[in-house]
Amino acid sequence: MTSWHEFTRASPAFAERVRALFDAHRHKTLATLRADGSPRISGIECTFDDGELVFGSMPHARKGADLLRDPRFALHSGTVDPIEGAEASWPGEAKISGRVVASTGPDGDRFRADIASVVHTHLDPAATLLVVEWWTPGEGLRTAERA
């Protein structure tokens, strides 16, 4: 089990950049798996609460049912297009995937993330290369650049 707190302790500067991308927009996109195995994407809000990445689902919502049945998820930050002529200032986008640990209450379902990977995609300072940085519990932080 890798909590948000454990991730930030392992890679603090990277975690700070990823969290800033998630905090920049209220709405994110959550990917879950339907009962037949096909993907479902849903809008969602999330919070970083007491060292944990958490999100919820209203009672009887499909995304909550998906996660209760199969805890795998992918969460994507809000994103904006790079500004033409100022591409180097584009902050990029972030993704977190893993499994959820669920707790059910009268107001719906609450999910805590068990993080398997964190990704930040952005441009290099010259805006000539796509930079993909990703972190996993077993491998730590890695970087790839693509032209």
Q: What does the DSSP assignment read for 78-135? A: ---PPPTT-GGG---EEEEEEEEEEEEETTEEEEEEEEEEEEEEEE-TTS-SEEEEEE
Dihedral, 67, 94, 47, 66 alpha carbons, nearest 10: -10
pLDDT score of 51: 94
Amino acid at 110: R
What CATH number has the domain bearing residue 13? Answer: 2.30.110.10
Confidence of residue 108 (pLDDT cuts 50, 70, 90): confident
pLDDT digits (tens, 9 = 90+) for 18-77: 999 999 999 999 999 999 999 999 999 999 999 999 999 988 899 999 999 999 999 999
Structural domain span for residue 131: 4-146
Q: Distance (Å, rounded) from C-alpha 121 to C-alpha 11? A: 16
Q: What is the mean pLDDT of residues 109-128?
A: 96
pTM metric for this prediction:
0.95
Around Cβ 106, how many Cβ atoms within 10 Å?
A: 5
Q: Distance (Å, rounded) from C-alpha 145 to C-alpha 139? A: 18
Domain count, the chain: 1
